[in-house]
Structure 1
């Protein structure tokens, strides 16, 4: 009679069946995912979020306008939303991740008026419809306060980018340039070469040599009409900042090391057409000659950028 000396304990059986069940469950959950890329319309949300954020941060957008002359098409879609082809927030292709504040504000306005168009011009309105929420913050302040849809879907992909916000060009007036004379109480900024008056203008006065505080004169901001008449602007037509802080009155002093920014609203220089802006101080600290806002040989316009964050959220109910 043949003997059988083999045996199986309960522990061996439990170990074997556990390995089998784990392998089986892994196969059940993993194998269907292998075929997801080959299913019609199946797209990874993370890829959509990345593509959309890259388009917004690196592309200036495009419109079919001929306003600039020449062949149809330019990137100033924020000024020609009636012929918008593609939305982008970059100032130009040569400087990715530097967003234009004007384009950001145009997007805010467009979301409020036609969210479906925004989704379409971002490439999110195809065979699979995606919803989107774009937030841009600068120094902790939200720059887009628009009625984006709420993300009720549980499957949301979010991506953040560190960006710079280009707030526009300012005229930089250096009050310590050795080639200039600073013997005037008035800074006379001429606007004759300013071709577009649909945007505000900003004048930045800095590098003063005064060792004691200088003040602004009474009614310090005046505009000069084409006929030569000087008109005092009311405070609602301009914004004054000292070292980045908005001043609600002119009762303050500035001196060496301070930066004075004065923004004139576009409505104050466009109707009627204004030929110059005069900024009056109570001491001789300003250039003794007229300064051209656009083409001055010494005092130049420069872009002013601040750090910010752009956050893009994308979701689709097709993946809910």
Structure 2
């Protein structure tokens, strides 16, 4: 019995010693395993990276009408700058402008761009190399923040400029001038051509997401004889659905007498007015139709939209100007830097 007791004591001692050694090794390893989980810089870097991906590679939601047209932040689920999912790091200028709108709160940015239950502080900025974009929102940067920088490009909308050099092309023929007491000049958007899928989203003219800009300058080149001005009586919108049988243009019901800068702007010689101005024009007309208006027109890839300017007979401007890739080519993509800091 004594020999058996001695064997059991040695077995117990050996097992207990091995247990202690294993326990010591586990205890010594635990702080190292938890060090990464407790590191705030790694966590903040990850959040900054994720936010940068959302802003630079995602167009946001809703997609159409796009989130940047939402009047109430509660209607927005996700804010992103990308033109489309197929064009990462190519950002749309109208999305950038809306994102840095002062109407958003810190809570809006946290819930619709940063995401996460923790109330992160942030600083988000975008700066173009030519200085045209110098936007930022958030707080000053403290030590120890997470950070990501991305090189991006900004897509800006095209614009149609009709000046005096084009006058011969858009003057009403002499034989027709006596037959009418008014003059009508049309700017036509053929969405079948503009939304051609063979044109990449980064270079596409899309009135549904970008403003349509038309400027008529050197207006005196279109005046009749010795007249010093001509009266712009109205601007009207007409559309045609080419997919329907016997398609024809119909007038779009619209509040033509209500000025709304969120839908359109019309300036005659630099002065703002509504779409039934009845004002004399001496030098220029500037018209911008916002995407929110296009969304109300219910246009698609089978639609043609006419913007018709009606004048009195003191001018001889007339005909149809095509708002297309030849006349309203978007400018080159603008290099910029997107920076996201989280802490």
Q: How does 1:1-320 map to 2 (within 5 A)?
A: 35-39=34-38, 43-63=42-62, 74=64, 76-80=66-70, 81-109=73-101, 112-126=103-117, 128-138=118-128, 139-144=130-135, 148-151=137-140, 153-171=142-160, 182=169, 184=171, 188-190=185-187, 200-203=211-214, 215-217=218-220, 222=232, 224-226=234-236, 233-237=268-272, 263-266=286-289, 275-277=307-309, 289-293=319-323, 299=326, 301-316=328-343
Change in 2 beyond 3 A, CA 1:219/1:34: farther
Change in 2 beyond 3 A, CA 1:168/1:82: farther
Change in 2 beyond 3 A, CA 1:265/1:49: same
Change in 2 beyond 3 A, CA 1:182/1:275: closer
The total of aligned residue pairs comes to: 231
| Conserved? CA contact 1:160–1:311, under 8 Å | yes
Q: How far is 1:105 from its partner?
A: 1.4
Q: How far is 1:125 from its partner?
A: 3.6
Q: How far is 1:172 from its partner?
A: 7.7
Unaligned runs of 5+ in 2: 1-28, 173-182, 192-205, 221-227, 238-265, 274-281, 298-305
Could you state the TM-score of these two structures normalised by the residue count of structure 2? 0.50
Q: How far is 1:115 from its partner?
A: 1.8
Q: How far is 1:92 from its partner?
A: 0.9
Provide Cα deviations, 1:52-90, integer angstroms capped at 9, x if missing partner.
112111110113xxxxxxxxx647111134321111011
Q: How far is 1:175 from its partner?
A: 11
Higher helix content, 1 or 2: 2
Higher strand content, 1 or 2: 1
Q: How far is 1:93 from its partner?
A: 1.0
Could you state the TM-score of these two structures normalised by the residue count of structure 1? 0.53
| Conserved? CA contact 2:47–2:342, under 8 Å | no
Change in 2 beyond 3 A, CA 1:49/1:199: closer
Report the 3-state secondary structure (helix = DSSP H, G, I; strand = E; otherwise coil) of the residue aligned with 2:159. strand
Partner of 2:177: none
RMSD of aligned alpha carbons: 5.0
Unaligned runs of 5+ in 1: 1-29, 64-72, 206-213, 239-248, 252-261
With a CA cutoff of 8 Å and minimum separation of 6, indicate the structure with the bigger relative contact order.
Answer: 2
